[in-house]
Chains A and B, each alone.
Chain A
Amino acid sequence: TVMAAPMTNDQSCFFALALGVSFLKCLLINAYHSTDFEVHRNWLALTHSLPVPQWYYEATSEWTLDYPPLFAWFEYGLSHIAWFFDKEMLVVQNLNYASPATILFQRLSVIVADVVFFYAVKECCKCLREDKGKDLLGKPSFILTVLLLWNFGLLIVDHIHFQYNGFLFGVLLLSIARHFQNRHFEGALLFSVLFNLKHIYLYIAPAYGIYLLRCFCFTQSNADGSLQWRSFSVVRLVTLGTIVLSTFAVSFGPFIALGQLPQVLSRLFPFKRGLCHAYWAPNIWALYNIADKAFSILGVKFKLLDINKLPKASMTGGLVQEFQHSVLPSVSPLATLVCTLLSILPALFRIWHRPNGARGFLRCLVICALGSFMFGWHVHEKAILMAILPLRCSSDVFCIITESTYLLGLIPLELICEFVYPLTVWQKTFPFLPLMLTSVYCALGVTYAFIRLYISLLTCSDNTKKIKTQ
C-alpha cells in the first residue's frame, strides 16, 4: 500500500511513455531542420493566402504542393492556428522564413499531431495477446509501446528533419488495428483517408484491396481455408466501394469539378526525377548502381570501354535528375513498376489463396511496402519507415531484422564514414563514397530482410482457428 510498486497500472505507464517522448520532442524544437520545414511553411502560406483553384498551380516557391488534397486541407486548418503565432509565415513570398515563432509553431504542430499516433498505438496494443502473469517490462504491449512511441527513426525524421509521419502512421496503424478488431468498414475508411493525405501509401493499397476482397467480401472460407465462391457479399463490396469513392470525392471532387485533375496528378506523380534520390535509398537500385559502377571501372581498367564515352559522376553527383547507366541497361519508370508488381504478386496471391486473417494481411502489407521500397522509382530512404512500423506490430517476425552481426557491422561502417574517411585523401575526389557505402550496406540488409520475410509469409501454416478468437 505505502510501498506500492509504481508501474502496475498499464494506463499510467502508457501515459508516462507518451509524455516522456513528448518532452524529448520539445527539447528538439531548436535542432536542425531540413528543407522540408520550408516545404510545409510554404504549404501553410499558400493554402491560407490563395483560393483553392490556385493551390496546385502555385509555383512561387520550388516546393510546390505535391500531396493529395486532404493534406492541403490539413495545412489549411493548421494555418488558422499559425496566424496567432506569426502572420508573416503565411505570406507566400516569404521564402525560407523561419522566425522563432514559426519554428515553435511548426514543431508544436508535429508534436500535437502525434496524439493520433499515440491513440493508434494504444489501439494496436489492445489487439495483442496478453500474458497476464508477466512482469510489466516483459509484456508485449509495453514492448510494442516503447518500440513505436520511442521509435528513433520516426523521431529523427519527424522532429528533426521535419515531417508529419507520426500523424500519418497513426492513421495507418489505426486502420490496421481496426482490421484486427474486425471493424473493417472503419479500417477501409481510415485507409482511404490516409491515401488522400499522402499518396505514397499507394504502395500498400494492393494488400488492402486483396485482403478486403478475400476476407471481407467473401464472408466465409471452406474448412481447409480455400475460397468459398458462393459466400460473396455484394452488399459489403458496394459499401466498401462507397466508402472509398466518397472519400475520394470529398478530396479530389473540387479539383475534378474545376477540371484540374491532370495538373493535380502531375504534381502528385513527378516522374521527371531520377531513378535514385540524391542519397541512394538502400534498395535494389543502389546495388544495381554499384554493380554498374564496378563494371564501368573494370571495363575501363581492362580497356573494354572508352572512358570518354562514359557519363561523368552520373549517379554519384548528389543531384536529382534522370540518368543513364554506363554498362548495365538503364532503368525506366515502367521497368520499376513491373519489378515492383512482380515482387509483391506472390504475397498477394498467398493471402488470396490462403489468408491468415489479419495477421497474414499485416505481413502482406509489410511485404508490399518493402517490395515497393526495394524496386520503386525515386524512393526516399524515409519510405523504409512504412515497412518498419507495421513490422513492429507483427511481433513474431520482428526477430528477422535483428541479426546481431549485421547490425554490429553498422558500427565500424559509420565510424569509417564519419570519422576515418574525412581524414583521408579520397574525401575530395570521391565525396559521395561514404554515403554510397552506407546505402549499399543497408541495401544488403534490407534485401536480406525482404527475402526472409517472404519466406516466412509463404511457409507459415494456417492459423485460422487462432484468428477467430481475435
Chain B
Amino acid sequence: MENWSLISLCVLLGLTSRWAVSFHSYSGAGKPPIFGDYEAQRHWQEVTYNLPVHEWYFNNTNNDLNYWGLDYPPLTAYHSLVCAYVAKLLNPEWVELHASRGYESHSHKLFMRATVLFTDILIYIPAVLLYCFYFCDGSSKQKVATALCILLYPGLILIDYGHFQYNSVSLGLALWGTLGLGLGWDLFGCLAFTLTLNYKQMELYHSLPFFCYLLGKCIKQGLTGRGFFHLVKISMTVLVTFALCWMPFLSDPKQPLQVLHRLFPVGRGLFEDKVANTWCSLNYISSYHVCETHLIIAGGHSGIIMLPLLLKDGLLLPYVVTSLAFLFLSLYLLSALERSTEEELRLGLYRKHTQHWLPKLNLSRIIKWKFWFSLVAMAALSFTSVWLKPPAKLPDLFPVLVSVLSFLHFLGFIIYFNQVQLMEPQRKKSLKKTN
C-alpha cells in the first residue's frame, strides 16, 4: 500500500477517535454557576468580541476577572476573537455580552468541538507527520506506525476533545519549532516557538532548551563571525514576533504589566487543581525526541495523572478506551517490548555503575517488569479511584496516591532522560543530512 494511503488512513483514524471522544462530556458541563474550561473559552470569545482590546485583561463592570478572566497571552485572545466572529455568524446568542454566560446547547458544543478539530488539523497533525517522517528511524511503515501512535495519544485527545482546551495549538507550534531547529531552519523554528510562547505561557518550560541549543549553535559558529550574525537574526525574529503579538498592548505601559500579572498570578497557590500537573506531563512527553519505548512508557502513565480530573468531567469511558487502545496499539505496532535491549534503551551508564556489584543484572528485563508492574499499578489505582470509597479519615487518598505514583515515575524519567541526553553520541550525521 502506498505511503500516502497509509498516512491518510492514520490521520483519518486519529480524527475519528478525536471526534468520537468529543461526543462525551466537557469540563463543567451543566454545573452552574462556575462551570469549567469550556465555559472559560466561550467567555473569552464573548469578552474579546464585545470589548475593546485595552479592556481584555482589566477588571471592570463589563469584564469580571474573577469569572474566568483571561489568563493566557494575547495569541489565545486573538484566537478567541476569530472564533467569536464565526460564532456570531452562526448564532449571536453564543457571544452576547453578559447574557451568554453559562450558555450550553448541542449546536454550541458542536461549534466549540469543531474549532478544536480545525486547529488540530491545521497545526498539530501536519507537525506530527513531518516529525515522524524526518526524525524517526526505521522503515516508512514504522514511521507511519509511530505517527499513528502519536496521533492516538490519549492524553492530548482527552484534554482537548474531552475536558476542552486548545493544547493542540501550543503543542503543535512547539513541535513546529522543534522541527524547524532540527531541519536547520532556525529562524522558522524561533518564529514558531515564539508564537507558542505567546499562546500559552506554559511553553516557557521548553524555552530553556531552545535558548541553550540556539546559543550553543551560535557559539559554535564563532561569536565574532557568522555566529554573532546568526544570533542577531534570531533575536530580531523573537523580538519582532513578540512586538507584533503584543502591539495592541504597547501603547500604555500599564497594559503589558497587567497582562503579565494575569499570566503569572503569584497570588495563587502552588497547586492550581490538577491541570497544572497534567500540563507538565503533556509537555514532557511531546517535547523530547523520543523513541518508541520511551513514548509508551511515558505516554502510558500520563493518563493516570489526569484521572481525577477526567472523572470530575465524566470522561471515564473515553479515558479507559483511549488508554487501552493506545497501550495495545503501541505495543502491537511498535513491538516496543521486543526492542528493549540495553542498547536500545541506552542504559549504558547504569550498566557501568551496577556492573561492579551486580554483574548478572539484566537491566532490560528489569525495565520490562517495571513497565508491566506500573501498568498494573495504574489499572489498580484507576479501578479503586472509580469504584471504591476512600476511608473517612483520608478523603483525598486516591488523588494523592496518583500524584505520588506519578511523581515517582517522573522522577525516574527525569533521571533516565538526563542520562540519555548526557550519554548521547554526537548526532552530527543526522544534522548534516537535513541541513
The interface of chain A, by Cβ under 8 A from chain B, is 2-7, 12, 16, 19-20, 23-24, 26-31, 135, 137-138
Give Cα A135–Cα B1 distance, bound, in whole angstroms. 9
B48 to chain A, nearest CB (A): 26
CB–CB B335/A6 < 8 A: yes
Give Cα A23–Cα B320 distance, bound, in whole angstroms. 10
The interface of chain B, by Cβ under 8 A from chain A, is 1, 6, 16-17, 20-21, 23-24, 141, 145, 317-318, 320-322, 324-325, 328-329, 332-335, 338-339, 341, 344
Contacts of B344 in A (CB 8 A): 2
CB–CB B1/A27 < 8 A: no
Contacts A6-B334, A31-B23; A24 near B145 (Cβ below 8 A): no
Partner of A16, one of B16, B20, B21, B332: B332
Partner of A29, one of B145, B317, B332, B341: B317
Question: Closest 9 CB pairs between A and B?
Answer: A27-B20, A137-B1, A23-B325, A26-B321, A6-B335, A31-B23, A23-B321, A16-B332, A30-B23
Contacts of B332 in A (CB 8 A): 6, 12, 16
CB–CB A19/B317 < 8 A: no
Contacts of B1 in A (CB 8 A): 135, 137-138
CB–CB A24/B17 < 8 A: yes
- Using CB atoms, name the residue of chain A closest to B22: A27
Give Cα A12–Cα B335 distance, bound, in whole angstroms. 12
Give Cα A20–Cα B152 distance, bound, in whole angstroms. 12
CB–CB B335/A24 < 8 A: no
CB–CB B338/A4 < 8 A: yes
Contacts A2-B341, A24-B17, A27-B318; A19 near B23 (Cβ below 8 A): no
CB–CB A4/B335 < 8 A: yes
B159 to chain A, nearest CB (A): 16
25 example contacts (A-B, Cβ-Cβ < 8 A) are as follows A4-B335, A4-B338, A5-B141, A6-B335, A7-B333, A16-B328, A16-B329, A16-B332, A19-B328, A20-B325, A23-B321, A23-B322, A23-B325, A26-B317, A26-B320, A27-B317, A28-B20, A28-B23, A29-B317, A30-B23, A30-B317, A31-B23, A135-B1, A137-B1, A137-B6
Give Cα A31–Cα B338 distance, bound, in whole angstroms. 38
Contacts of A28 in B (CB 8 A): 20, 23
A21 to chain B, nearest CB (A): 10
Give Cα A2–Cα B293 distance, bound, in whole angstroms. 13
CB–CB B145/A6 < 8 A: yes
Give Cα A7–Cα B1 distance, bound, in whole angstroms. 14
CB–CB A2/B23 < 8 A: no
Partner of A27, one of B6, B21, B328, B333: B21
Give Cα A27–Cα B325 distance, bound, in whole angstroms. 11
Contacts of A7 in B (CB 8 A): 333
CB–CB A27/B17 < 8 A: yes
Contacts of A29 in B (CB 8 A): 317
A251 to chain B, nearest CB (A): 37
6 extra interface residue pairs, beta carbon distance < 8 Å, beyond A2-B338, A4-B335, A26-B321: A2-B339, A20-B329, A23-B322, A23-B324, A27-B23, A30-B317
Give Cα A246–Cα B198 distance, bound, in whole angstroms. 75
CB–CB B328/A24 < 8 A: no
B50 to chain A, nearest CB (A): 25
Contacts of A12 in B (CB 8 A): 332
B42 to chain A, nearest CB (A): 22
B38 to chain A, nearest CB (A): 17
Contacts of B16 in A (CB 8 A): 24
Contacts of B334 in A (CB 8 A): 6
Contacts of B318 in A (CB 8 A): 27
Give Cα A167–Cα B196 distance, bound, in whole angstroms. 49
A62 to chain B, nearest CB (A): 26
Give Cα A448–Cα B325 distance, bound, in whole angstroms. 40
- Using CB atoms, name the residue of chain A closest to B2: A137
Which of B23, B24, B145, B320 has its CB near the most chain A CB atoms (within 10 A)? B23
A60 to chain B, nearest CB (A): 30
